[in-house]
């Protein structure tokens, strides 16, 4: 019996497991789907976000006909014969034209936005993102449900610490425009901390980033750790003096939550979803002001009493988030969708 036959006979929720991976949506997909009862993976092997994916999904769902189709990402079918629940984590591709292209803009305009009206519910991860989606898509309030994000038990103060032989502040993310990495480098150069502390970053630098680092005289002060496996990431948080996350835009900001759960102080932006995530447990800075970012980094590095206070507040704040809670909220929506269908 094929997987398609199994799914068709069971008539259960089908979830798009292709999203599972080493990125924000990937972690959401893995943690939530693993906790959902009576869920089957989407049969088929078309690559994620293939140009013909929306049509392929519609055809597949017409053949399989589960009770509900759930995607942990922003890829709806062109048309769905069953109740649809999908997830929009943020609107970065809409708000930051420099991070998109004509095909992606068309996809959001002709596929994603119409699907929000047809879907049973659209899930998202923060109140900020909910308001963004409601405004962009013109939806009624009840159409978008906030399920949040969680943090796993591996992110805790107990465990191994990354110890490179020097004190460091930590940056987790890529170098796309919305991450504000250029201003972070400029702020670190102006912080007055060079020679005392290094900036450790995930990933590898592009030629453009290497050029900026050289221009700012940071060659000996900024370290790129490459792709850090999930199982090693908590050690990097624990070893850091602070996490620095000065993004211009986030739908949630998972590194801030992970750092707090590890007892690591956080310096982050005062805009978009980030204040909602960290509450009073972080130093907030103006991400458009290099001096403000530099002040935040300097303040948390030089003030051990502040770091101790942020550690206490961050651990308390992180306890408000769990993948179990996110999965429960998601499952509630999927059950309602199944009954509606």
Residue 115 has pLDDT above 60, yes or no: yes
Residue 329 has pLDDT above 70, yes or no: yes
The pLDDT > 90 percentage for the chain reads: 93
Residue 130 resides in a domain: yes
- Give yes or no: residues 116 and 229 share one domain: no
Residue 159 resides in a domain: no
Average pLDDT over residues 301-305: 98
- Give yes or no: residues 106 and 75 share one domain: yes
Residue 161 resides in a domain: no
d(CA 322, CA 317): 11
- Give yes or no: residues 136 and 199 share one domain: no
pLDDT tens column, 213-269: 999 999 999 999 999 998 999 999 999 999 999 999 999 999 999 999 999 999 999
Q: According to DSSP H, which parts of the chain are helical?
A: 3-10, 24-35, 53-64, 92-95, 102-107, 113-118, 127-137, 181-190, 207-215, 233-239, 254-261, 274-278, 290-302, 304-318, 323-340
Written as six digits, the tokens of 332 are 């509630």
pTM, two decimal places: 0.93
Residue 102 has pLDDT above 50, yes or no: yes
Residue 8 has pLDDT above 90, yes or no: no
Q: Contact, 273 vs 88, CB < 8 A?
A: no
- Give yes or no: residues 128 and 220 share one domain: no
d(CA 20, CA 330): 16
Average pLDDT value over all residues in the chain: 95
pLDDT tens column, 190-200: 999 999 999 99
Residue 162 resides in a domain: no
- Give yes or no: residues 65 and 206 share one domain: no
| Domain span at 47 | 3-150+322-340
Residue 80 resides in a domain: yes
Residue 5 has pLDDT above 90, yes or no: no
- Give yes or no: residues 7 and 116 share one domain: yes
Residue 6 has pLDDT above 70, yes or no: no
Q: Residue 144 belongs to a domain with what CATH number?
A: 3.40.50.2000
The confidence band for 11, taking pLDDT boundaries of 50, 70 and 90, is low
pLDDT tens column, 19-49: 998 788 999 999 999 999 989 999 888 999 9
Please give the pLDDT value at position 72: 98
Residue 155 resides in a domain: no
Please give the pLDDT value at position 12: 81
d(CA 282, CA 275): 8
Domain count, the chain: 2
- Give yes or no: residues 21 and 129 share one domain: yes
Average pLDDT over residues 265-292: 98
- Give yes or no: residues 112 and 190 share one domain: no
Please give the pLDDT value at position 193: 97
Residue 141 resides in a domain: yes
- Give yes or no: residues 110 and 192 share one domain: no
- Give yes or no: residues 136 and 254 share one domain: no
- Give yes or no: residues 124 and 254 share one domain: no
d(CA 163, CA 160): 9
Please give the pLDDT value at position 44: 81
HSE, side-chain direction, 13 A CA sphere, residue 310:
26
Residue 115 resides in a domain: yes
pLDDT tens column, 164-199: 999 999 999 999 999 999 999 999 999 999 999 999
Residue 1 has pLDDT above 60, yes or no: no
Please give the pLDDT value at position 4: 42
Please give the pLDDT value at position 24: 86
Question: Parallel, antiparallel, or unpaired: how do β-strands 283-285 and 266-269 relate?
Answer: parallel
Please give the pLDDT value at position 9: 44
DSSP assignment of 267-336, as one string?
EEESSTTHHHHHTTSSEEE-TT-HHHHHHHHHHHHH-HHHHHHHHHHHHHHHTT--HHHHHHHHHHHHHH
pLDDT tens column, 124-159: 999 999 999 999 999 999 999 999 999 999 999 999
- Give yes or no: residues 117 and 243 share one domain: no
Question: Parallel, antiparallel, or unpaired: how do β-strands 168-171 and 198-201 relate?
Answer: parallel
């Amino acid at each position: 019996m094929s997987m398609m036959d199994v799914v068709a006979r069971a008539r259960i929720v089908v979830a798009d497991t292709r999203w599972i991976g080493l990125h924000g949506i990937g972690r959401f997909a893995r943690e939530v789907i693993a906790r959902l009862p009576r869920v089957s993976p989407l049969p088929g092997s078309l690559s994620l976000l293939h140009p013909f994916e929306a049509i392929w999904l519609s055809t597949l769902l017409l053949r399989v006909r589960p009770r509900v189709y759930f995607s942990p990402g922003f890829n709806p079918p062109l048309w769905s014969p069953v109740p649809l629940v999908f997830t929009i984590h943020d609107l970065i591709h809409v708000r930051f034209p420099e991070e998109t292209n004509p095909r992606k803009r068309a996809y959001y305009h002709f596929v994603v936005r119409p699907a929000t009206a047809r879907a049973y519910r659209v899930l998202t991860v923060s109140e900020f993102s909910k308001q963004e989606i409601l405004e962009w898509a013109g939806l009624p309030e009840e159409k978008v449900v906030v399920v949040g994000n969680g943090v796993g038990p591996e992110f805790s103060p107990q465990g191994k610490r990354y110890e490179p032989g020097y004190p460091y502040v930590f940056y987790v993310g890529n170098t796309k425009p919305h991450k504000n990495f250029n201003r972070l480098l400029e702020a670190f150069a102006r912080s007055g901390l060079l020679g005392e502390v290094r900036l450790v970053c995930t990933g590898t630098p592009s030629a453009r980033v290497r050029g900026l680092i050289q221009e700012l005289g940071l060659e000996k002060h900024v370290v790129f750790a490459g792709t850090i496996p999930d199982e090693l990431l908590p050690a990097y948080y624990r070893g850091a003096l602070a996490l620095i996350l000065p993004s211009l835009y986030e739908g949630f900001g998972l590194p801030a939550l992970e750092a707090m759960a590890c007892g690591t102080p956080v310096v982050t932006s005062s805009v978009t979803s980030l204040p909602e995530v960290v509450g009073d447990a972080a130093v907030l800075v103006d991400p458009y002001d290099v001096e403000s970012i530099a002040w935040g980094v300097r303040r948390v590095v030089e003030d051990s009493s502040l770091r101790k206070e942020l550690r206490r507040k961050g651990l308390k704040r992180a306890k408000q988030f769990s993948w179990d809670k996110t999965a429960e909220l998601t499952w509630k929506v999927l059950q309602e969708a199944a009954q509606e269908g």
